Amino acid sequence: MNTLAILVAAGRGERMGGRRPKAFLELAGEPLLLRAARPFADAPSVDAIVAVVPAEAASEARALLAPVAKLHAVVPGGARRQDSVRAGLAAAPAGFDGVVLVHDAARPFADVDLIERVARAARAHGAALPVVPVTDTVKRVSGGTVQETMPRDALWAAQTPQGFRHAVLSAAYEAAFRDGVTVTDEAMAVERSGHAVHVVEGSAGNRKLTHPEDLRWAEGVAGGGAERLRVGTGFDAHRLVSGRPLVLGLVTVPHARGLEGHSDGDCLAHAVCDALLGAAALGDMGRHFPSGDERWRGASGAVFCAEVARALRAEGLAVQNVDATVIAQEPRLGGHVEAMRAALAGSLGVPLHAVSVKVKSTDGLGAVGRGEGIAAQATALLRRETR
């Protein structure tokens, strides 16, 4: 065996939101860990892969990586990066003394060419590090003020995979642990051991995903942004009757008649809720709020909007925007549109700019045109949140 790849995936992902380990977040419908493993499985020089993951996620990782033919082991990591790498080294096949490639699972866009480039350099020089030039001007800051502008031509950003002969990396880590030193990457450990680290050309696309905005960038690169979006439509109509207030979009509108219904008859709010539920594939208003259930007798549209918003959050979905149209011959509703937008946005927990309400008439055509009732239709766009 010549080359062992260690995928470091034991981080908790606090800066990404911390709801689950970062390597298990989905990118274009596929976990980062699996995406990171694929190019190593495809690389000709790589013989075996060890994944280092949080202890509680080991079983999930084994199932996830089952299709990866070169998978050798999945082992629990430690609190620090160097603890996790040491666990990966300990899982190497007995007697292994070839090249070790250590890669962040949070870098899903490493390619086979980069892997082979690092492996060749590590084999030749004992230690190899992919780097890319720093393009921003870098300042050294202390106490809230700039102390120095660093010479940019001497600064390079380190990437992974980082490659080392097994003996070189093992000795460097033994020294770091013995001396009580925390290192931020493998090259740092090898540097302090006195062994020269050879640099090779990295890749601008081999970016580490650390914050939520990084994941959004990666979705665009992977072409998976559309997979995170869900569209739904909704429609509702109610008869106008005497003796009831007219409520539309959670706003009470002065009028001689109101909308008939088991609840408050707010067809605009109901159409919006139906669109949201449809986008989430959660059924419709009748399924969640049946008219035969006394709990919903006289309930306001605000109650329904809040319940639907909770259901969406439970599914990991957030409202991107809602566009709704009220179809009414009377009364005139233009002066109430902004109040409806604000009320709906507040009830759904979204910014005002995420809600659009328009008003149309049928120019006297049909039941609505004869003033017998009011209808509403809505379209909703949801996005799947990072979990």
Q: Which pLDDT tens digits describe the chain residue by residue (387 residues)? A: 699 999 999 877 667 765 678 888 888 778 899 999 999 999 999 999 999 999 999 999 999 999 998 999 999 999 999 999 999 999 999 889 999 999 999 999 999 999 999 999 999 999 999 999 998 999 999 999 999 999 988 899 999 999 999 999 999 999 999 999 999 999 999 999 999 999 999 999 999 998 888 887 887 777 655 557 899 999 999 999 999 999 999 999 999 999 998 899 999 999 999 999 999 999 999 899 988 888 999 899 999 999 999 999 888 889 999 999 999 999 999 999 999 999 999 999 999 999 999 999 999 999 999 999 999 999 999 987 644
Check residue 58 and give its pLDDT.
93
Nearest to 70 by CA among 100, 40, 94: 40
Give helix 166-179 / helix 81-90 axis angle, nearest 10°. Answer: 130
Question: 291 CB contacts (<8 Å, ≥6 apart)?
Answer: 262
